[in-house]
Chains A and B, each alone.
Chain A
């Protein structure tokens, strides 16, 4: 029976893959059906997952088994209910309080973390002696890192007109940005092709069995 369901799953997966790929030719009912199955399944999956893997273990079970030591979980539960009041037009205003709390808390947590990780540590990483690299390639790389960071930041300074030496520095910054956009495009192309490879490995391996899965 397990074997039957495995084979059935592979066949459904293969047919849905073809249905999605058919969009590359033109929009058609097979694509639309597969798309709507995906949307419906995802919504259903998340709904069930939220209830059974988030609400029940984190709220219902602790409160139903030992409310005395877990009473603090009532606070997020009440805030959650307040958030849902958004659906009732007359009581919509109540939802602003939990939203404000979430935004405030998130800002506080993220501000500190991002300041340290994305500003201080990133800046510190560029404060170095580039000539201490073991090889010429390392030294050139470190010089490029310093020049790229500096000129890139200069480009984003808009309180002074970009002309003269300042403008030339900003222009160098643009070239560094262009190169980084090119690298980002290259990585994106690579990622998309990898997804196609993954699907074809499934079709040729799991479904047709002509390559090793």
Chain B
């Protein structure tokens, strides 16, 4: 008996409908938080107000649906806690991603000032070599911010010489260079608390760094982690609104896997019976 197959386009259509409908008609499926996300939340929560942290936007528009909601939630949390932020990027388009986050949050926090509460020092090529140089002397790598203003003119950067002056390092990473470089230099070479957010695809290769050695202090992996972070912040956003659709699509995939396996098993049984 030949195995029954269906045109794959029906699956595409079903996934499309399964994702589209929950975006329009919100179901509000329950959401549980995981340990890795709580660790990131606690890291920010336990950082004293007035501390300075470094957030690296190591992604481009291709990974924006997963990493932008995380960035938005993280920066929002830092603003709430009055933590000062230095934005940088190991990917050229990351600079614009950081700007987009600030454009949105400026409406919520009009009192936050560029140069005093946050600064964008822009992109630097070089990956791990740049991170290493930054760890030793921040100013040689970034003599100016992304607009060409000398960093000595920004109050937020006064006293920031190297990684010792930063409370933690955070990489929103879509690949290489990205979070691995920050772990290798930031935590493993200089012992600074390091954390990050990654795309779902790269999560399995990065998760082992969340270990007893605390190479990473928690990890945000994929859109679900962004939704969990928003849940902890009690501020539903882009991540939360996508979770109904995500769950529905997963349900459809699981149903198709079960149907395909039953089909496979029946065909195999029929083949045996035929012999």
Chain A residues within 8 Å of B, Cβ to Cβ: 24-25, 49, 53-54, 58, 109-110, 113-114, 116-117, 121-122, 124-126, 128, 180, 183-184, 187-191, 193-201, 204, 210-212
Within 8 A of A (CB), among B237-253: 238, 241-242, 245-246, 249-250, 253
- Assess whether B222 is in contact with A187, with CB atoms less than 8 Å apart: yes
Q: Taking the nearest CB of chain A, how far is it from the CB of B28, in angstroms?
A: 14
- Assess whether B200 is in contact with A197, with CB atoms less than 8 Å apart: no
Q: What are the 3 tightest A-B residue pairs by CB atom distance, in nearest-first order? A: A198-B65, A191-B200, A125-B211
Q: Which residues of B contact A117 (CB under 8 A)?
A: 180, 183-184, 188, 209, 215
Count of chain B residues with a beta carbon within 8 Å of a chain A beta carbon: 46
- Assess whether B19 is in contact with A189, with CB atoms less than 8 Å apart: no
A53–B94 CA distance with the chains assembled, in angstroms: 13
- Assess whether A113 is in contact with B20, with CB atoms less than 8 Å apart: no
Encode B1-30 as 1/0 by CB contact (under 8 A) with A.
000000001001001100110011000000
B40 beta carbon closer than 8 Å to chain A: no
Q: Taking the nearest CB of chain B, how far is it from the CB of A164, in angstroms?
A: 30
Encode B228-267 as 1/0 by CB contact (under 8 A) with A.
0000000000100110011001100100000000000000
In the complex where A24-B9, A197-B246 touch, is A113 in contact with B201 (Cβ < 8 A)? no
Q: Taking the nearest CB of chain B, how far is it from the CB of A29, in angstroms?
A: 19
Q: Which residues of B contact A58 (CB under 8 A)?
A: 125
In the complex where A53-B92, A200-B19 touch, is A191 in contact with B201 (Cβ < 8 A)? yes
A190–B209 CA distance with the chains assembled, in angstroms: 21
Q: Which residues of B contact A198 (CB under 8 A)?
A: 64-66, 242
20 residue pairs A–B, Cβ–Cβ below 8 Å = A24-B12, A25-B9, A49-B92, A53-B123, A109-B129, A117-B184, A117-B215, A121-B213, A121-B215, A125-B212, A187-B200, A188-B201, A190-B224, A194-B242, A197-B23, A197-B65, A197-B223, A198-B65, A200-B245, A211-B241
Q: Smallest CB-CB separation from A182: which chain B residue?
A: B204
In the complex where A53-B123, A109-B129, A190-B246 touch, is A116 in contact with B200 (Cβ < 8 A)? no
Q: Taking the nearest CB of chain B, how far is it from the CB of A152, in angstroms?
A: 11
B150 beta carbon closer than 8 Å to chain A: no
- Assess whether B222 is in contact with A184, with CB atoms less than 8 Å apart: no
In the complex where A49-B92, A198-B64, A204-B23 touch, is A191 in contact with B199 (Cβ < 8 A)? yes
Q: Taking the nearest CB of chain A, how far is it from the CB of B194, in angstroms?
A: 11
Within 8 A of A (CB), among B121-137: 123, 125, 128-129, 132
Q: Which residues of A contact B221 (CB under 8 A)?
A: 187
B208 beta carbon closer than 8 Å to chain A: yes
Q: Which residues of B contact A194 (CB under 8 A)?
A: 65-66, 199-200, 222-223, 242, 246
Q: Which residues of B contact A124 (CB under 8 A)?
A: 212-213
Q: Smallest CB-CB separation from B204: which chain A residue?
A: A184
Task: Please pick, from A113, A116, A128, A201, the residue contacting B128 in the complex, using a CB distance under 8 A.
Answer: A113
In the complex where A193-B249, A194-B200 touch, is A204 in contact with B19 (Cβ < 8 A)? no
Task: Please pick, from B129, B188, B242, the residue contacting A121 in the complex, using a CB distance under 8 A.
Answer: B188
Q: Taking the nearest CB of chain A, how far is it from the CB of B4, in angstroms?
A: 22
- Assess whether A187 is in contact with B9, with CB atoms less than 8 Å apart: no
Q: Smallest CB-CB separation from B187: which chain A residue?
A: A117
Q: Smallest CB-CB separation from B181: which chain A residue?
A: A113
B166 beta carbon closer than 8 Å to chain A: no
Task: Please pick, from B183, B208, B241, the residue contacting A201 in the complex, using a CB distance under 8 A.
Answer: B241
A54–B19 CA distance with the chains assembled, in angstroms: 41
A200–B250 CA distance with the chains assembled, in angstroms: 16
Q: Which residues of B contact A201 (CB under 8 A)?
A: 23, 65, 238, 241-242
- Assess whether B188 is in contact with A204, with CB atoms less than 8 Å apart: no
A90–B213 CA distance with the chains assembled, in angstroms: 53
In the complex where A194-B242, A204-B20 touch, is A189 in contact with B250 (Cβ < 8 A)? yes
